[in-house]
Structure 1
């Protein structure tokens, strides 16, 4: 079932305003669980790589949703 352009815009907004903050909090929580001791944390570059990887990874399942959102409605 294909979504209309208007529905895609609405769902994209929900994903960005609700889903992305939830994903960010969960990524930080997971990293804090993996390295609970502040003195025994992973090196800065390792943490940066994990955050960048997770930052890119969240967008792949929603690629179809964000595609064409910035364009004018093709139906009118």
Structure 2
């Protein structure tokens, strides 16, 4: 079942405002449990984790910055009699 534009928009807000901060805290905590790797490795790990969080949510964020496609469809269709 595909999510509607409004549902994807709502979920994207939840993911960005709640999920992402939780992910950052967990990622930093796990990396701090390691015994401080070299700076270049630590930077590489943070960059990789920065991209890794968004992969499962690509379908949620796709097209969110554009106008609602359902609203355009409703404007073009004549009202049914």
TM-score between the two structures when normalised by the length of structure 1: 0.90
- In 1, Cα distance between equivalents of 2:60 and 2:70: 17
For residue 61 of structure 2, what is the aligned residue in structure 1? Answer: 66
Unaligned runs of 5+ in 2: 72-81
- In 2, Cα distance between equivalents of 1:34 and 1:44: 13
Report the alpha carbon displacement of residue 42 of structure 1 after superposing the two structures with TM. 1.1
1:47 aligned to 2:46? no
For residue 20 of structure 1, what is the aligned residue in structure 2? Answer: 20
- In 1, Cα distance between equivalents of 2:25 and 2:42: 15
RMSD (Å), alpha carbons: 0.6
TM-score between the two structures when normalised by the length of structure 2: 0.85
Across the two proteins, how many residue pairs are aligned to each other? Answer: 71
Higher Cα Rg: structure 1 or 2?
A: 2
- In 2, Cα distance between equivalents of 1:55 and 1:5: 25
The runs of 4+ residues in structure 1 deviating greater than 4 Å are: none
